[in-house]
Structure 1
Amino acid sequence: MARSTGTRYGTARLRTVALIGVDGSGKTTQAHRLAEALAAAGHPATYHRNAGGRRWLGRAAHRLGRPDAQGLLGRDAMLLVESVLRWLAIAMALLGCLFTGRVAVMDRYAACQYASLRAHGGQRWERLIRAAYRVFPQPQVTFLLTVPPAEAYRRIERRGTDQESLPYLTAADLAYRTLPESPSFVPIDGDRPADQVAREIRAHLAEWVSVDDEPDEPGPQRYRPWLPGPVTALVPIHALPWTTGPVAIQARP
């Protein structure tokens, strides 16, 4: 498929796209959709959920009678463990895509760890963590999904798979907006139906992903492989069939 080379993203082949934002902003839903859209447009992609283990640690804490991961390990230890686990996840994702040539669609990236440090009051570790994460290349595009903290809190409570406090979500939202990297983020209003959010993300990647803005023709629905089906609610990550590791999404013939 021929592509124009005169775009703001330059002539390089698309390799890495990151979706970041507070919990409940819709990162996972949109990352899956984007990987599918890229594959349908002829760019095989792999979804990677670069989690820091806080959900797993939180469940372990509950089993041991502690309120959360911070209560189990202490704030500093929790942040360091989270930083190491996320570093390993990102490293494995990048290496896998380097060898396979697939596009890496990153559900969370380095900026998520910097924001977590700031939101949890762990700024003293930020310089060290940044030094460790500096080995990772910057994604060609980083989408920052934004939602009001109160809406993010409602979504998290509704899905019922994890817990976050409203003060933490408010602090994390501010942290993302004030990171030194924030001017390079592409802000996406995540407080809209998932179809609209997905369409805007694809529009920013129009060099690689076809975007169909024409109204549906009357009669039978046309087949549009780049346009995922409608989503009526956020799908909890644990309910998806691809949660045990990276998801390789093949391009359709």
Structure 2
Amino acid sequence: MSRVKPPARRADLLAGLFLSFEGIDGSGKSTQARRLAETLRAEGHQVTLTREPGGSAGAEQIRSLVLEGDADRWSPETEILLFTAARRDHLEKTVLPALARGEVVICDRFADSTRVFQGLTRGDLSAMVDQLHRLMIGREPDLTLLIDLEPALGLARAQARQGSEMRFEDMGLGFQTRVREGFLALAGAAPERFRVIDGAGTQDRVAEAVRAALRDAVPLSPR
């Protein structure tokens, strides 16, 4: 699969930039992804806001399989295959076409979530995740915003909103703690790609920190 490389950027031109948001459940990353999309559109950028698992018709069908039901519904190995299948369809149908059009793609979760949720937290399956990623995906975000939050606070927020997609939240505080540790380890290993944002403040304060972290990559453009 060919890799779409972002071109040189000027204040009046932005093309093909791939951003992802990551974090534990309840971190506020989905809210911040949506707010960033609204901000960039108001500044004059063309934006595709999408999510994982999901973001394309086929991937949305897989989403219900992996996010609903009992916590032990799938083994980690089966989850890796399901998430990778969803991601491949999402990449083909949504992400790469939007990048080819010169848009900013903002994705609520991408491959780092699989690296952490399936690769690190329930056994060491990192090699399997990485091998499938190389074979079937072959693309990383240009920048990743990690919204960092204490696991107890994130879990309380996630449980308060309820809904049917609670499978990973039902795995408990210990699981969410390992997820946070996994994300911070990834950020430490790839500081050129990750921007770690404190998610404990107000939504407005976190949104300001997100926009400031992207100032060089996503300059203000004329409306």
TM-score, length-scaled by structure 2: 0.76
Is the Cα contact below 8 Å between 1:202 and 1:209 reproduced in 2? no
* One-letter amino acid matched to 1:26: G
Name the counterpart of 2:65: 57
Partner residue in 2 for 1:176: 183
TM-superposed CA distance for 1:147, in Å, is: 0.3
Who is 1:79 aligned against?
80
Map Cα deviations across residues 79-129 of structure 1 (whole Å, 9 max, x no partner): 321232133223433223134322101111221211122123233523323
Q: 1:95 — aligned with what? A: 96
Q: Answer whether contact 1:40 1:252 (CA < 8 A) is retained.
A: no
Cα deviation, 1:27-57, whole Å, max 9, x if unaligned, reads 1101111111111111110101121678622
Residue from 17, 39, 42 that aligns with 2:19: 17
Aligned positions of 1:7-156 closer than 5 A: 13=15, 15-51=17-53, 56-57=64-65, 61=69, 67-68=70-71, 71-116=72-117, 117-121=119-123, 122-132=125-135, 135-136=138-139, 138-156=140-158
Q: Counterparts of 1:59 and 1:87 in 2: how far apart (Å)? A: 18
* TM-score normalised per structure 1: 0.68
Q: 1:87 to 1:26 in 2, by over 3 A?
A: farther
Q: 3-state DSSP class of the match of 1:143? A: strand
Q: Alpha-carbon deviation of 1:151?
A: 0.8
Amino acid at match of 1:123: S
Shift of 1:12: 6.8
Change (3 A) 1:35 1:252: farther
2:22 and 2:144 in contact (8 A); partners too: yes
Larger radius of gyration: 1
Write out aligned runs for 1:206-217 (5 A): 206-207=215-216, 208=218, 210=220
Note the residue ranges of structure 2 that are not aligned, 5 or more in a row.
1-8, 55-59
Q: 1:80 to 1:99 in 2, by over 3 A?
A: same
1:199 Cα offset (Å): 0.7
Name the CA shift for 1:87/1:152 in 2 (closer, same or farther; >3 Å).
Answer: farther
- Number of residue equivalences: 199
Give, in angstroms, the shift of residue 132 of structure 1: 2.9
Root-mean-square deviation (CA, aligned residues, Å) is 2.9
- Gaps spanning 5+ residues in structure 1: where? 6-10, 62-66, 211-250
